[in-house]
Each structure stands twice: as structure tokens, then as C-alpha cells.
Amino acid sequence: MGQARESLDLLPGTLDLLILKVLARETMHGYGIAHRLKQTSEDVLQVGESSLYPALQRLLLNGWVKAEWGASENNRRARFYTLTPAGRRQLASEHQDFERMMLAIQKVLRTA
Amino acid sequence: MLKLFRRIKYWAESGRRSAELAEEMDFHRAMSEERDGAGGRAMGNMTLAREEARSVWIWPWVESVGQDILYGVRGMRRQPGFTAVALVALSSTIGINTSLVTAFSALALRPLPVRDPARVVNMFRLGDKGVGGFSIAEYRYLAEHSRSLSGLVVTAFGDPATTDELHKVAGSYVERELLPRSGRFGCSLAAAFWMGKTAPEDRSR
């Protein structure tokens, strides 16, 4: 009460979009994705395992990412996620939808 | 379609995939501890996270139905006496109900197996002593002279000897008189059917 919130809840469906966006730059493991989201959002988006891994499984199920085991930066066995061509198309489509939605929300907030 | 295929593949490899997910999450926690100093508690409930990730592949209701069935089977194995009584009661009740419904359907709901069942009528003789039937002679007379009926068949109830005799007489009449003229007497097919005799293929149409 009265304290600034350290992290914000994501809008439904936006986590998938953000993961796709992070993976569009490079292949990453789960921790790397969570770390990148936190870093890029300046600690606003802190994604826990209970949100991140179901989202990654959802992306795998839809065929938007593929997963392969490899060695991490500290030489541990880790699972790396890569965006598929279908995932790239999905990212473009979701990005566009999100932009439209944000624009609509902003219009309402400014005028209503 | 591809999604369904992926789901089936997951089910087939669910043991290995669950182990991989657990390993992946262990790695995540180890990295968090190493770099951010955050323990497992800070990352939330691991088991819940695993279950949620798993439920993406396996619809929760499918798993729930499977668990209910297993629970039921275990319960039945624990109480064999109750299971036996319940099985006997259920199977006999279901059997009786099925028989009754089948019989009622055959007798009351399904049309007679003739070309035009709506035109089949049942004839009785109304006498002083109530409703009665016809003698064989009367039946023969009606069968030969009736103009409004395209064919007749006689049935009998009661004494098996009488019934057999009646069927024999009527059956021979049906074969001799009605079946050769089946084009004209469409009802003779029904007669042959009711008599328990099979009409020759070319005459039955």
C-alpha cells in the first residue's frame, strides 16, 4: 500500500510475444530469456518459472520455437530455444496486433 | 493437425519430456542462485511450475478423467464384496432394461417388415361372447373372396398342436395361392414372413 511496485503483471498473451521477440535476436535458454526480459525492461518484467516454462511449452506445441540441448556459458547442460520460420511469422503478426491494441488503449486513455 | 501430432508425440515420450523439463528448471534455479543470488523460493513453486508446463501438452480434463478412473479401480479393488454386489446389480438391471426396451421397440415402435405397413389391418370377429377369431374355413373363404384386402394371413395362439396345424394349413395356402401371385398380392410376403417361411428371392420383391 503506497509502495512502488517492483514488477508489473503482464497483459495476457504478451509473454509469448516477448519471448518470441527475444528469440528473434538469438538462440537462448530459459534462464537467458528471463534474464534478458528483466534486463531490457529495467527490472520491471520479472518472469518466474511458473509463467516462463508453460509459455515456452506453448510455443513448442505451436511449432513457433524448437528446443535443443547444448552447453551453456558456464559449460552446463542447458536447453536452447530457437525461433522457427513459423515463429517469425507469428511474431510479426502478434507484434502488429499488439501495436494496434496499444494504440487503441492509448486513444481511450487520452480522450475518455 | 501438426499440433495434435506434437501432442501425441509428447504423450508417447511424456516420461522423458518431464525429466527434461525438470532438468531445465533445475538449471534455471542454479543459474538464478549463481548470478542473482535468488533461491528456489524466489522462483516460486517448482512442482506447480512443472505441472503448469505439463498441462500445456496434456489437457487437464483428460488427466483428471484418467485419475478418476484409476481412483475408482483402486477403490473397487479395496472392497471386492461391494464391487461384486454393485456389478451384479448393475449388470442385471442394465440387462433387463435392455431386453425390455428391445422387446418394446420390436413390438410397438418398429413398423412391420412389409412393403406398406400402414395398410396392414388386424381382423377380429365380434360375437355375443366378446371378441373372437375365425375358423380355418372362414379364413379360406375370406382369403379367396375378399376384394378390399390384397392378402390374408392367419395367426393362432394357445395350444401348440392347434397352432401348428393352423400354420400348416395356412402356410400351404400361402405357398400355393398367394406367393405365385405376389405381384398382385403384395401382402403375401408378410404372410410368408409371419408363417416363418422364407419366400423365394424373386417372389419377395
User: What is the per-residue pLDDT for B171?
Assistant: 59
The owner of cell 401348440 is B160
Q: Which residues pair with B130 in a beta bridge?
A: B127
Closest CA to B123 of B142, B110, B104: B142
CA dist., res. B166 & res. B174, Å (int)? 12
Average pLDDT of the segment spanning A28-56:
90
Give the gap in angstroms from C-alpha A103 to the nearest C-alpha of chain B.
31
User: What is the per-residue pLDDT for B45?
Assistant: 75
Is the Cα torsion angle A26, A29, A31, A37 positive or negative in sign? positive
Average pLDDT of the segment spanning A20-45:
92
In sequence order, what are the residues at sequence separation of 6 or more whose Cβ sits closer than 8 angstroms to the Cβ of residue A45? A7, A8, A10, A18, A37, A38
Give the gap in angstroms from C-alpha B61 to the nearest C-alpha of chain A.
17
Task: Check A35 against B28: CB less than 8 A apart.
Answer: no
What is the predicted ipTM? 0.81
Residue stretches of chain B with pLDDT short of 50: 40-41, 178-190, 192, 195-205
User: What is the per-residue pLDDT for B46?
Assistant: 78
Give the helix, strand, coil percentages of chain A, each rounded to 5. Answer: 55, 15, 30
Q: What region does A42 belong to: left with phi over 0, alpha with psi -120 to 50, or beta?
A: left
A65-71 β-sheet, strand order: A28-29, A77-83, A65-71
pTM for this entry:
0.56
User: What is the per-residue pLDDT for B136?
Assistant: 73
User: What is the per-residue pLDDT for B146?
Assistant: 81
Q: pLDDT higher for B3 or A81?
A: A81
Residue B35 burial (CB < 10 Å; 0-12/13-18/19+)?
exposed
Q: Are B167 and B191 in contact (CB under 8 A)?
A: no
User: What is the per-residue pLDDT for B58?
Assistant: 81
In chain B, residues 25-44 whose CB comes closer than 8 Å to chain A: 25, 27-32, 34-35, 43-44
B115-143 core/surface letters (b: 16 or more CB in 10 A; e: else): eeeeeeeeeeeeeeeeeeeeeeeebbeeb
In sequence order, what are the residues at sequence separation of 6 or more whose Cβ sits closer than 8 angstroms to the Cβ of residue B102? none
Task: Check A72 against B31: CB less than 8 A apart.
Answer: yes
CA dist., res. B159 & res. A51, Å (int)? 81
User: What is the per-residue pLDDT for B174?
Assistant: 53
Task: Check B49 against A30: CB less than 8 A apart.
Answer: no
Residues of chain A contacting B, Cβ within 8 Å: 29-31, 34-35, 48-50, 52-54, 56-58, 60-63, 69, 72, 74, 76-79
Task: Check B43 against A79: CB less than 8 A apart.
Answer: no
Judge whether residue A84 has pLDDT over 60.
yes
For all residues of chain A together, what is the average pLDDT? 88
User: What is the per-residue pLDDT for B202?
Assistant: 37
CA B195 vs. chain centroid, Å, equals: 28
CA dist., res. B175 & res. B181, Å (int)? 10
User: What is the per-residue pLDDT for B47?
Assistant: 81
The owner of cell 442394465 is B94
> Cα angle at A106 between A18 and A54, to 5 degrees?
25
Q: pLDDT higher for B55 or A96?
A: A96
User: What is the per-residue pLDDT for B205?
Assistant: 37
User: For residue A57, which residues of chain B lie inside 8 Å, CB to CB?
Assistant: 21, 53-54, 56-57
